[in-house]
A = this chain, B = another copy of it.
Amino acid sequence: MARTGRRTGHQDTREVILAAAREAFAERGFDGATIRLIASGAGVDPALVHHYFGTKHQLFLDAMRAPIDPSQIIPQALAGGVDGVGERLVRTLLGVWDSEAGGAAAAFLRSAVSNELIAKMLREFVVNRILRRIAKDLDLDPAEAPLRGNLVATQIGGLIMVRYIFRMEPLASAPPDTIVALIGPTVQRYLTAPMSAGLDGRT
């Protein structure tokens, strides 16, 4: 029988670990926050952390209360290489956010914007787990990849804000194909077009 809302000892331990994880991830980033460190912060044995959450990646998602795991979805958009990857990334994004998971994702993003700890974790996740993966799979020049990734984040993040958070029309009701055709080329350009004058001073 489901006993919703009742706190058990197990649940308390889980929450203590999650709180310690949030602090560690926000302070030290994904790589710096070891399971050992998080366990120590929570006052439990590292084995217990693994027992409750499996991998560090899963613990990170749970600590953010992320409703979806982008790193499970993005590889399919990257498969197929550089040609048209901008369109495929936008289409993949719309598929997730237009689905049932979209409401939870919007709630999550709201909390990230208003909570500095979650914001830091989300930034860490987007930069080091998603954008770095995209750069690697597409074999981008490492000197340019961080800025290209940031530019993609502006366009994808802005699309999410306008369509799902602020629900501006006509974009909020536009069919996915329309949006893919209009915004996909921008993402493609940010990923693959030769960096022009703007980057000259930095490389």
A residues whose Cβ falls under 8 Å from a Cβ of B: 109-111, 113-114, 119, 122-123, 126-127, 146-147, 150-151, 153-159, 161-163, 165-171, 174-175, 177-183, 186, 189-190, 195-199, 201-202
Contact = CB atoms under 8 A, between A and B. Distances in A.
One complex includes copies of this chain to the number of 2
A158 B168 contact: no
Nearest to A113: B113
A150 B174 CA distance: 11
Contacts of A151: 171, 182-183
A153 B162 contact: yes
Nearest to A182: B198
A196 to B, nearest CB: 6
A2 to B, nearest CB: 30
A198 B171 CA distance: 12
B154 A158 contact: yes
Given A123-B167, A150-B171, A180 B198 contact: yes
A199 B156 CA distance: 19
Given A113-B113, A178-B202, A119 B183 contact: no
B154 A178 contact: no
Contacts of A154: 155, 158-159, 161-163, 171, 183
B196 A171 contact: no
A156 B158 contact: yes
Contacts of A122: 166
A175 B162 contact: no
A126 B156 CA distance: 19
